[in-house]
Structure 1
């Protein structure tokens, strides 16, 4: 985790039923940017970078925020000089492959350590954790490493779905998959339901958004419910370990 107090907004999702792109999180975005008026958007989780950036411009420019796509120049240089960065959702494996190949891991870490705001949504939220291991996505490409930005020391599972006893689906529930992750790793997982986000600033972390809240999964204990508005700073105090020997 970067030194100092990172300024992060990590969204479970970018769209909500009946609302336009990012509409549900506008106030949180403005709070995170704190008067900054430009942002570099990292569109690499989707294939059409121009169209994706156009969507983000349509959401943020009416708020007075100028958007430049990281692909519209040299990505590393644009991020290095950015006032703020927004890493969008899509496929986490495709995103992580790109951020490794483009040399964005160390530059994002360095800029966040300096206080640059980082906004992530879905795959962009996965990328803020130490590893992509708790993504929901299919591995459509092979990144050189599962390592991600590591802006927080714990894992996040966006788009968390509670087990549905009435479902006819015979595959693992999200709860079962996260339990399997904890059989191999001792790293807490914040499982955020739709409409929620994690806000980090001034050394504190708070879960916000809709009332549905989140669940925290830790090795050797039952999942814990976390309501919206709860302080979750305690998550950074857990020193996790990957690939443990049982």
Structure 2
């Protein structure tokens, strides 16, 4: 049975790496003492080793040992044998590119479906949906496919924010971009605001955190979903 935390971001304003999620993680990982970290998204071009070190420090107070997937000779076996998995944020194009390049995307999906606890933030959340096509990232590399794990029946737009009243910015809003997506695609999109996350337990998906989320569906008016709402598709 799937057990997932799908978070919009690893940090919120004024907070450290994963700090705002710690109470949730403490309960979610209560039976875990080691996990595999997937650093492929490389935020700001950080190295795998440096990204893993940041993550190791974040999990120290939970008494959980962290090892980067790049440290294993056989990354697929690492995913099959670990107690939990965390995929961090960064560039979704590069993350997906490396998941395909290392032939671990399908294995990752399988172990999650079989019950290995999974945590994703930002790019690591984008890959939980049907495709990565609602990422905000620049296409710095070209992955073999935009298809991702499909562990949830919709796509995530992480770091979703609303246009500010009175703003003089002339570029497209997130809502406009998602409407453009729905001209050509049917997949629902959830705009997940920073500080919010989805708690997945089997087929039950619950919105958690301080904010509402905005659900976009093709040819329908967007809907605001309240905190603690169970999502149905």
TM-score, normalised to structure 1's length? 0.90
Cα shift at 1:165: 2.9
The CA deviation at 1:228 is: 1.4
Does residue 224 (structure 1) correspond to residue 220 (structure 2)? The answer is no
Q: How far does residue 223 in structure 1 lie from its aligned partner after superposition?
A: 0.6
Q: Which residue of 2 aligns with 1:39?
A: 35
- 3-state DSSP of counterpart to 1:116: coil
CA drift at 1:79? 1.4
Q: Which residue pairs with 1:49 in the alignment?
A: 48
Q: How far is 1:72 from its partner?
A: 0.9
Q: Which residue of 2 aligns with 1:120?
A: 120
Report whether the alignment pairs 1:8 with 2:7. no
2:159 and 2:193 in contact (8 A); partners too? yes
Separation in 1 of the partners of 2:106 and 2:142? Answer: 20
* Equivalent in the alignment of 1:167: 167
The alpha carbon displacement at 1:202 in A equals: 4.0
Asked if 1:87 corresponds to 2:87, the answer is: yes
| Partner Cα separation in structure 2 for residue 195 and residue 208 of structure 1 | 9
**2:69 & 2:212 partners in 1: Cα distance?**
32
Secondary structure of 1:132 counterpart: coil
Partner Cα distance (1:195, 1:78) in 2 = 30
Gapped runs of 5+ residues in structure 1? 236-246
Q: Which residue is 2:18 aligned to? A: 22
Matches within 5 A, 1:200-239: 200-210=200-210, 212-232=211-231, 234-235=232-233
Give the distance between the partners of 1:103 and 1:28, measured in 2 at CA: 31
CA shift at 1:168, angstroms? 2.0
User: Partner residue of 1:140?
Assistant: 140
Cα deviation code 1:26-58 (max 9, x no counterpart): 122223224111110000000411110011111
CA contact (8 A) 2:130 2:187 kept: no
Length-normalised TM-score, structure 2: 0.95
Aligned residue pairs total 229
Partner Cα separation in structure 1 for residue 7 and residue 27 of structure 2: 14
Q: Distance in 2 between matches of 1:138 and 1:172?
A: 15
User: 3-state SS of the aligned residue for 1:134?
Assistant: coil
1:213 and 1:61 mapped to 2: Cα distance?
Answer: 31
**What is the CA distance between 1:71 and its match in structure 2?**
0.8
